Structure 1
Amino acid sequence: MADDLDRIDRQLLRLLQKDGRTPNAELADKAHISPATCHRRVQRLLAGGHVRDIRAQLDPAKLDLATLAIVGVVLDRSTPDSFAAFERAAQDMPAVLDCYLVAGDFDYFVKIRVRDMADFNRLHAARLIALPGVRQTRTFFVMKEVVDNRPLDI
């Protein structure tokens, strides 16, 4: 819970969000605590699930994955079984970066990264519309990433 975090815990989380590779001694210095205390607190934050993962943020353009699409998906049925089947299938697609169950005109929004439009067309024809229960999709191609993966405001 956020209530069990004090000012130092929040500072450590902000610093880790900015750069998860920061060495413990540098992290401790920036948080104005001893390295031993810093290590203990970071381990507690990890064990408590406050930090889900620490990983590198890659540059998609340099990896030939510059095209980003957001796909709105409507399922043919709104049942727990159809939602579960769709979610399992979406989790098995490497091109799917994020998948959100949403309220409104769509059942899901799926964030997909591919090489180019031709790559997306192949993926759409072969995999997306074949996902369990998909009745309709509407694709939005991202022209510019204005804010992407912003750190949480804690």
Structure 2
Amino acid sequence: MTRAAIDRFDLAILDILTGEGRISVTELAQRIGLSKSPTQARLKRLEADGVITGYRALIDPVRLAREHVAFVEVKLNDTRESALAAFNRAVGDIGEVEQCHMIAGDFDYLLKVRTADMSSYRAILGERISTLPHVSHTSTYVAMQAVKDVAL
């Protein structure tokens, strides 16, 4: 499949949608300086090409009592493909883990964990994260403030 090049109009569409995902096509067209039909065609192409992968609601974690954020370094005792796959499958089942990234460095994974408070976090760490397949060591870093967060 040949993908069309991304031009300044496409970038403008992406920039606006990143901040305002529910904007109407008519308003989007006005803001980027094109008529509605070509804007809609560009939007559909960006979706079909997989540049836009979906739309979602951003939820205020404070209103859901999930304002405690911790980043967890996870070191595995086995990094063969089967061990990585087992960890990847299991970590997906922990709802409090917002993000999980495989890392090239002194540890294997970096998790972003969101809970109500430190007590809740300690329970998740001890009962769920530490018992994931092949986990040998964890280190926790508690976030004091989100200085930049594209989800805010």
Do they fold alike, i.e. is TM over 0.5? Answer: yes
Q: Distance in 1 between matches of 2:132 and 2:44?
A: 40
Q: Name the structure 1 match of 2:106.
A: 105
SS of 2:84 mapped into structure 1? helix
Contact 2:3 2:49 in 1 (8 A): no
Offset, 1:149 = 2.3
More off after superposition, 45-54 vs 131-140: 45-54
Q: Name the structure 2 match of 1:138.
A: 139
Q: CA RMSD, aligned part only? A: 1.7
More off after superposition, 14-23 vs 1-10: 1-10
Q: Name the structure 2 match of 1:72.
A: 73
Q: Name the structure 2 match of 1:15.
A: 16
Q: Does structure 1 residue 122 correspond to structure 2 residue 119? A: no
Counting aligned pairs with the same residue, the percent is 35
Letter in 2 for 1:53: G
- How many residues align? The count is 151
TM-score (normalised: structure 1): 0.93
Q: Distance in 1 between matches of 2:3 and 2:65?
A: 38
Offset, 1:45 = 0.4
Q: Does structure 1 residue 6 correspond to structure 2 residue 36? A: no
Q: Name the structure 2 match of 1:95.
A: 96
Offset, 1:136 = 0.3
More off after superposition, 51-60 vs 111-120: 51-60
